[in-house]
Amino acid sequence: MNFNEVRTGLNHVQGMAFGGDEDKYLVVGGVEGGGVKVFERAIRRTRRNREA
C-alpha cells in the first residue's frame, strides 16, 4: 500500500474522518484559522491490483 503526504492548508489539524461510499472522502478539520476541507481518495491502479 502506498501513502502520500498531502498539504491540507489547515493549521493544527484537530480531527479527520473517512466517509461516503467505500470511505471515498476524507474530511479534515483545523483548529487555528479554523476550517474544514474534504479530500477525495484517489486509488492508483497498478498491475498487481488489476490482476486481483
Note the pLDDT tens digit of each residue in 9-42: 888 888 999 999 888 999 999 887 778 999 998 7
Give the residue carrying C-alpha cell 467505500.
Answer: 22
Which conformational region is residue 24 in: left (phi greater than 0), alpha (psi within -120 to 50 degrees), or beta? alpha
State how far the alpha carbon of 50 is from the alpha carbons of 26, 43, 44, in Å: 24, 12, 10
DSSP-derived letter for residue 36 is: E
Residue of 50, 9, 49 lying closest to 30 (CA atoms): 9
The predicted structure's pLDDT at residue 41: 83
Cell of 18: 473517512
The predicted structure's pLDDT at residue 12: 87
